[in-house]
């Protein structure tokens, strides 16, 4: 559906455990202050996010199965075949929470919106704006209609027990005020009007919550969260199992003990629905990553980017889920009583007539404690919760990890890659036959490319008269270029003069460098490169990309030239893209053997290889390359950018004692991403075509195909 509708549709799904019996009959879904009630039964629901376009359909059954074995109750998202996907989930005996959005954030290109939406007249995203509301309603109706037609809602006998409208809108509403409030009200009414028969939720919508909607929490910790009204269950829709990697940023991770601790705390404070974001993060294939988001979306999730269990996290959480299920009868029947066992020491007891579960917690992050509880003693490590499903026996402590870690390795294969190269052409201004066009002044990049390509050329002839003083003094003039982002390569007379790039935090960049010019006409070619579109922020549809100036040359006879108002020529995309060099059909002449260019900017490389035996996941080691894109058999496996190494603050773990954020960082001084996932299902047994577009210059002879394995 997504494709016909031209949205890269992002529907978040959560897949939740259920007994297969319950899933196959028509049921009612309601809720009270304790929990979601399915067919008259309150349930503790454990859920995990898997964005299915971030893996291949061939990986889906295995991911779903591992998530079920991991004790979830769960969650996914869509790109191609939503119905097929939900049916697979249903077959596995899991529930679904359909997070329709249509805005999804998710570090996905443009937050999941299609780029054309920005160019609809009078458009303003996510506010009380008629064109936006019309598009949003149309999409939401389309999704709900499809689900109804396939009988996928729980009330129709399907697996969908909940739906979400919008996503993390609260902070935006807070900033924009009245039109935001009107929009929230409209969105809730519009959603309710679709009569799905299952409850609607809005996440991070804490101030202004329509009556019909359950507001839910997203964060690293949510135990202090309270829904807006007393008759709503306490639900945690995004629990960050790690964090997304960004180009140039340190690689984030979150220890298993800490995430288990946060889940146990949420449950003992009365939480009844918890979703891991992410349970499997996957890969930002092609050009789907949001602005400066890395190609890997691993997220330090319990299932790694390649779909393999990450140990000890996966097993440690699986055990936690089992013990929470043992506590379920007590958890859903009563509210806890809380007693203090000492400084930063608490007991949360759920005792009903027929069941009893206790959670003993130590919130001190540096010192262990021995506590007495109902006549027995228990040892609580720092920052931990012990769970006693019978109020007596410690079945589990969040900090006592009993599963060995498995260190995953990237092991080289003996696959030989023998490269050919092709030099990309630098276009000339006024080369109108070859798709160049002219315009006065500087233009916004996405309004030209419509995001069909990362690349836009800005071209100008710079005429230098014989009497320019710098020709004789040797004091080269200074070229200064302000760009709204994201990366820029500057070519003068066909030679790379320099590059500059922004970051996730600040996508803007300044290029400022002395350049060599000769008397007569000099060719200036600026290649502006987008690194994904923004995926969130107030009215992010108005944010610019590309060289918007000023562009100046100083150190000339007249002092300074302001080139911003010049007539510039433009060319969209690279020549290699227009010739489809990434496919089998391309007919250009590739240089081979000793003629293969290395360390040359703007070079295409190609090679063929046979698929290594076995079924372990594969990746490309791109560490000798700079920046660009890679295709395997015509499919884009994503942007590579190992040249962007991890800068700045890279402390190991920067949290402790706070309930806001626990992010640990690694890879200081190294590439923020070195390995790139090659899905086995995209390969044939032999003669696979690999094509690399290298923007900065690299040595393709260092590229190797590796196997990801936990074996020694």
At closest approach, how far in Å is the CB of 428 from ligand NAG?
6
The residues that are catalytic are 168, 238
Which residues, at least 6 apart from 472, have a Cβ–Cβ distance to it below 8 Å? none
DSSP per residue, 136-201: HHHHHHHHHHHHHHTT-BGGGTSSEEEEEESSS-HHHHHHH-HHHHHHHHHHHHHHHTT--SS-EE
Smallest distance from the beta carbon of 352 to ligand NAG, in angstroms?
5
CB of 437 to ligand NAG, least distance (A): 13
Write down the least CB distance from residue 382 to ligand NAG, Å: 8
**Residue 531 · residue 247 · CB < 8 Å:** yes
537 in the Ramachandran plot: left (φ > 0), alpha (ψ -120 to 50) or beta?
left
Is residue 704 within 8 A of residue 630, CB to CB? The reply is no
Q: Which is nearer to ligand NAG, 153 or 285 (CB)?
A: 285
Q: Which is nearer to ligand NAG, 333 or 423 (CB)?
A: 333
Residues in contact with ligand NAG by the rule CB under 6 A: 105-107, 168, 218, 238, 240, 244, 277, 333, 344, 352-353, 364, 366-367, 425, 431, 433-434, 536, 657
Smaller CB separation from ligand NAG, 275 or 704: 275
Which helix H or strand E contains 576, and what residues bound it? helix 575-578
Q: Which of 684, 603, 617, 672 is nearest to 640 (CA)?
A: 672
Q: How far is the CB of 435 from ligand NAG (least distance, A)?
A: 9
588 versus 687: smaller Cβ distance to ligand NAG: 588
Helices and strands (H, E) in the chain, number of each type: 12, 40
CA 422, CA 23: separation in Å to the nearest integer? Answer: 56
Q: How far is the CB of 353 from ligand NAG (least distance, A)?
A: 4
Nearest residue (CB) to ligand NAG, 230 versus 433: 433
Q: Which is nearer to ligand NAG, 183 or 220 (CB)?
A: 220
Closest CA relative to residue 280, chosen from 641, 677, 666, 652 = 677
The first and second tokens of residue 567, run together, are 């007539």
Helix axes 60-69, 82-91, angle to 10 degrees: 40
Cis status, amide bond into 340, omega within 30 of 0: no
Nearer to ligand NAG, 158 or 248 (CB): 248
Structure tokens at 166: 């919008």
Q: How many CB atoms lie within 10 A of CB 660?
A: 8
Alpha carbons 625 and 417: distance in angstroms, whole number = 15
Query: Over the range 353-377, which residues count as b (16 or more CB within 10 Å of their CB) and which as e?
Result: eebbbbbbbbbbeeeebebebeeee
Q: Smallest distance from the beta carbon of 356 to ligand NAG, in angstroms?
A: 13
């Amino acid at each position: 559906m997504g494709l016909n509708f031209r949205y890269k549709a992002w529907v978040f799904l959560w897949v939740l455990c259920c007994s297969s019996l319950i899933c196959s009959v028509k049921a009612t879904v309601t809720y009270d202050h304790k929990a979601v009630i399915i067919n008259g039964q309150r349930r503790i629901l454990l859920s995990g996010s898997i964005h299915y376009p971030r893996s291949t359909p061939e990986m889906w059954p295995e991911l779903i199965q591992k998530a079920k074995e991991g004790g979830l109750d769960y969650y996914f998202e869509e790109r191609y075949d939503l119905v097929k996907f939900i049916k697979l989930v249903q077959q596995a005996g899991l529930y679904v929470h359909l997070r329709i959005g249509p805005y999804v954030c998710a570090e996905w290109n443009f937050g999941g919106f299609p780029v054309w939406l920005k160019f609809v007249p009078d458009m303003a995203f996510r506010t009380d704006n008629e064109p936006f509301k019309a598009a949003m309603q149309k999409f939401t109706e389309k999704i709900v209609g499809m689900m109804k037609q396939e009988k996928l809602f729980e009330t129709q006998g399907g697996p969908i027990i909940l739906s979400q409208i919008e996503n993390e809108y609260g902070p935006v509403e807070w900033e924009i005020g009245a039109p935001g409030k009107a929009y929230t009200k409209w969105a809730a009414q519009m959603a309710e009007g679709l009569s799905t028969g299952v409850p609607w939720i809005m996440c991070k919508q804490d101030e202004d919550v329509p009556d019909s909607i359950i507001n839910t929490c997203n964060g690293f910790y949510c135990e202090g969260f309270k829904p807006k009204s007393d008759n709503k269950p306490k639900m945690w829709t995004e629990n960050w199992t790690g964090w997304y990697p960004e180009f140039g940023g340190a690689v984030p991770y979150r220890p298993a003990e800490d995430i288990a601790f946060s889940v146990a705390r949420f449950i003992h404070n009365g939480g009844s629905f918890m979703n891991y974001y992410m349970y499997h993060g996957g890969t930002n294939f092609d050009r789907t990553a949001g602005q400066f988001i890395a190609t890997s979306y691993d997220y330090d999730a319990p299932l790694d980017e390649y779909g393999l269990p990450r140990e000890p996290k996966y097993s440690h959480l699986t055990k936690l889920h089992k013990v929470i299920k043992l506590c379920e009868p007590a958890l859903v029947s009563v509210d806890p009583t809380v007693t203090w066992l000492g400084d930063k020491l608490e007991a949360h007891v759920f005792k009903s007539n027929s069941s009893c579960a206790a959670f003993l917690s130590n919130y001190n992050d540096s010192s262990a404690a021995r506590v007495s509880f109902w006549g027995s003693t228990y040892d609580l490590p720092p920052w931990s919760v012990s769970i006693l499903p019978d109020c007596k026996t410690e079945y589990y402590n969040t900090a006592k990890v009993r599963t060995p870690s498995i260190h995953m390795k990237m092991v080289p294969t003996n696959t030989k890659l023998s490269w050919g190269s092709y030099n990309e052409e630098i276009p000339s201004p006024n080369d109108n036959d070859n798709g160049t066009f002219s315009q006065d002044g500087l233009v916004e990049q996405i309004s030209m490319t419509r995001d069909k390509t990362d690349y836009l050329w800005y071209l100008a002839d710079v005429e230098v008269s014989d009497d320019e003083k710098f020709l004789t003094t040797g004091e080269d003039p200074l070229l200064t270029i302000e760009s709204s982002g994201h990366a820029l390569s500057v070519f003068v007379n066909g030679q790379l003069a320099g590059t500059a790039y922004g970051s996730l935090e600040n996508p803007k960049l300044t290029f400022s460098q002395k350049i060599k010019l000769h008397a007569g006409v000099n060719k200036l070619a600026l290649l502006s490169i987008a690194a994904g579109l923004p995926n969130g922020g107030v009215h992010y549809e108005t944010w610019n990309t590309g060289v918007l100036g000023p562009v100046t040359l100083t150190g000339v006879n007249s002092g300074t030239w302001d080139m911003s108002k010049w007539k510039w020529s433009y060319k969209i995309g690279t020549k290699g893209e227009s010739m489809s060099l990434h496919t089998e059909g391309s007919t250009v002449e590739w240089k081979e053997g000793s003629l293969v260019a290395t360390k040359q900017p703007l070079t295409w490389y190609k090679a063929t290889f046979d698929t290594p035996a076995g079924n372990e996941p594969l990746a490309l080691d791109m560490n000798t390359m700079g920046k660009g894109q890679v295709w395997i058999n015509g499919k884009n496996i994503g942007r590579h950018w190992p040249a962007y190494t991890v800068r700045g603050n890279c402390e190991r773990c920067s949290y402790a004692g706070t309930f806001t954020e626990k992010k640990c960082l690694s890879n200081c001084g190294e590439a923020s991403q070195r390995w790139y996932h090659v899905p086995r299902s995209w390969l044939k047994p032999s003669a696979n075509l690999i094509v690399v577009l290298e923007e900065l210059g690299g040595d393709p002879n260092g590229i190797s195909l590796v196997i990801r394995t936990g074996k020694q």
